[in-house]
Copies of this chain bind each other. A is one copy, B any other.
Amino acid sequence: MKNRRSIRKYSRDSIPLEKIFQILEAGTYAPSGANLQPWIYIIVTDNELKEKIRKEAEKTERSFHEKAPVQLRRWLKEQKITPEKSFLTEAPALIVVAGLTKAPYWLESTWISIAYILLSVEAQNLGTLTYTPSKTVFLNKLLRIPDDYHPVAILPIGNPAERPSPETRARKPLEQRVYLNRYGDKWQN
């Protein structure tokens, strides 16, 4: 958990599908509302399809960046996050995660599953990133996902071709996040 970092640059080496299945199997062990296991995963390795996904995602992001609040726009700039999503074509595989919206707590359950996947990718010494396009209906169209599933994230998977700066690992002090019995009441360590 502490070592895992979001990776934005990938080498183009392909990843054995078997490894991806193992990672996704871990994702299915997440707890879920009414145990309905509402998630599906689409592995995208087809280059033409990845190009199309990138094109649509970048279109969505350009519109998002234009409408973003000033503070967020500044942060995005500082982090060098632009509407360009080159990892969508550079990573050898993308995992599109969608949830069945009629299941209770489908969004929460699906995000626990994504967390399991993030950690499994790390355990396989691979890199990934939680990319949440601001709109995702283009994924329903391109990947023929039925309307009752809502795509929530694209996780590129591959060998990292960058080492993120240690700053991104910095965490706010636990004292500002943890309270005892009531908000604002400090605990003594």
Contact = CB atoms under 8 A, between A and B. Distances in A.
A40 B108 contact: no
A70 interface: no
Interface of A: 1-2, 4, 6, 17-18, 21, 24-26, 28-31, 33-35, 37, 39-46, 49, 72, 75-76, 79, 104-105, 107-108, 111-112, 114-116, 118-120, 130, 132, 143-146, 149, 152-153, 168, 171-172, 174, 177-184, 187, 189
Nearest to A28: B171
Majority secondary structure of chain A interface residues (helix, strand, loop or mixed): mixed
12 contacts: A1-B120, A17-B180, A21-B174, A24-B174, A34-B76, A40-B177, A40-B178, A43-B181, A43-B187, A107-B108, A112-B115, A119-B119
A130 B105 CA distance: 11
A25 B187 CA distance: 14
Contacts of A153: 108
Contacts of A18: 189
A32 to B, nearest CB: 9
A65 B55 CA distance: 45
Nearest to A2: B29
Most B-side CB within 10 Å, residue of A25, A171, A178, A179:
A178
Contacts of A35: 79, 168
A119 B43 CA distance: 25
B28 A172 contact: yes
Contact of A28 (B25, B152, B174): B174
A172 B37 contact: yes
